[in-house]
Amino acid sequence: MALHPSISARLSLIEDLPSWREALADPAVQLRLQEYRTWKAAPALPSVETSDESIPGPHGPIAVRVYRPPSASQRPRPGLVWVHGGGWVFGDLDMHEADWTAREVCARADAVVVSVDYRLAVDGVTYPVPHYDVVAGVQWVRENAAELGIEPARITVGGASAGANLAAGAVLRLRDCDNWLPATLVLAYATMHSVSPPLTPALAEAFAPLPRMVRILPEDVAEMTDNYLDGTPDPHGYALPAGAVLDGLCPTLLLDAEYDDLRASSEAFAATLVEAGVPARHVTVPGVLHGFLNLPSSVEPVDHALAVLAETVTTAHAGELALDQGERG
């Protein structure tokens, strides 16, 4: 389908800008960027309880934010460990993809959500530091499930974009080193390859008119990956899970944007999961761009994606996941 009208109406604000990195460094375009990223008609966010915590990690304290449903139920709830994206170089607990998503899933799934603020790959920080921060975040939730009000067998781990990469890498390491897996893994518009698989000719033609700012081309992936790895070897695929042994991985939900160059990476990863015998559900969210979890739930495809994510968290238990290959939201 065509881009959602509320998205296409904004593209004129950024159509002549070369890249997010250059645009964010240019004071002359900040008002345009602010207008592009502001949704005046965004609905009120769900009312949930939040608390900011500092947890121990191998490279120093790690900030996490815990989201709890407002109801006073004493029964253990499902839990979600959530990891924001940002190309490994930007993002925090307050970005919409982190905070809005956590609040929506907390309320919709009646779940405890823990958002992990890993160290970014800037100022000399590289892999495996962000990776180990996320591993430590998942371990902290697992070890403190009772205090957090989470049922241990119902922990989901997930993330978006680079956060999906980090979530998958952390789960793979915990599978190998701790002999532990979450109930489900959730990967939203994930980047899993050092070299992006090519788009199909039909997708390449459909994406060609999009502004450069919303494209993630192979050279962009190479730049992000080179910065993240900085030459560090990745023999087990913990940094780039497309190269990992996926056998025995937990059931996985993959959410892709229809208009996203990284869709090729996620689709290839989904196929590899199926080949490895891993239960996988792949949902293509129509009419949206990469990063759609930064948009409000008033955008219908985003609302549907949040509903699928929340349902997955709610029903996750001992490796159960409904299968529907190639589903569109």
The answer to whether 110 is a known catalytic residue is no
Within 13 Å of residue 46, how many CA atoms lie on the same side as its CB?
Answer: 23
Nearest to 181 by CA among 236, 150, 139, 144: 139
Query: What is d(CA 277, CA 212) in angstroms, rounded to the nearest whole number?
Result: 37
Considering the candidates 260, 261, 266, 297, report the single residue annotated as catalytic.
260
Considering the candidates 131, 193, 282, 290, report the single residue annotated as catalytic.
290
Task: Return the number of other C-beta atoms located less than 10 Å from residue 75's C-beta.
Answer: 7
The answer to whether 131 is a known catalytic residue is no
The answer to whether 290 is a known catalytic residue is yes
User: Would strands 62-68 and 49-55 be described as parallel, antiparallel, or unpaired?
Assistant: antiparallel
Each residue of 219-253: b (16+ CB within 10 Å) or e?
Answer: ebbeebbeebbeeeebebbbbbbbbbebeebbbbb
| Phi, psi values for residue 155, rounded to 5° | -90, 125
Considering the candidates 4, 115, 117, 161, report the single residue annotated as catalytic.
161
Active site residues: 161, 260, 290
